[in-house]
Amino acid sequence: MSEIINPHQLKYLESFRPEPDPLILEMEQLAAEKNIPIPDWKSAELLEQILLLIKPKRVLEIETAIAYSSIRIARKLKKKGYVDTIEKSLDNISLAGEFIKKAGLENQINLIEGNAKEVMPLLDKKYDLIFIDADKEDYEKIFYYSLMLLKKGGVLFVDNLLWHGYPASSKVPPSFKNSTKYIREFNKLFVNQSALVTSIYPVGDGVGIGVRI
């Protein structure tokens, strides 16, 4: 099995992790049980640190899933800050709505139903931070839309860029071959984009961070 980080190091890091609050823990358990993709907790913590540093007013998230990251983002925003989050799965939208209500964040999280590739061209505002965690075959198109929607000095945060370690591996399971190909192609595009200053970090499942220049 491909790995991003040594299991012993991971266990060591987990020993420092604060106990998640009940809602976050409930969402993590549901995601594990239902095989719903959510960001690794280390990636989520890094995202939270960036939010505290740049203090964004407007955040765009692609895609919502069950609103795990939406809620973690919204909790780090100032009172007037908000998250626009796009999700196409009706099942996920239903679950996300329930969790957003439980978190009491209905006024800070705007859940948009639809395909991000169709919704993003219709958005008419600029964002301080855009978080991409979508279908891997859509990363390239979403990336270009994100460049148009990201403010100068804004941050692009992209998850899964080391994709279980497979982009750097010569042995890729058949079920991951297509998605790994998309990630390899995207990573080349990401690091060579002249509109951003970019880096890829071995955090969680691999995090790409770009700053709009």
Total tally of structural domains belonging to the chain = 1
pLDDT, one tens digit per residue, over 105-150 is 999 999 999 999 999 999 999 999 999 999 999 999 999 999 999 9
Domain of 193: which CATH number?
A: 3.40.50.150
Task: Say if 152 falls within a structural domain.
Answer: yes
Distance, CA of 133 to CA of 47 (rounded, Å): 12
Domain presence at residue 135: yes
pLDDT at site 10: 87
In the predicted structure, residue 162 carries a pLDDT above the cut 80: yes
- Per-chain mean pLDDT for the chain: 96
pLDDT at residue 1 tops 50: no
Q: Of 156, 136, 141, which Cα lies nearest the Cα of 209?
A: 156
* pLDDT at position 156: 98
Q: Residue 1 falls within a domain, yes or no?
A: no
Domain holding 15, by residue range, is 7-212
How far is Cα 42 from Cα 38, in angstroms, rounded to an integer? 11
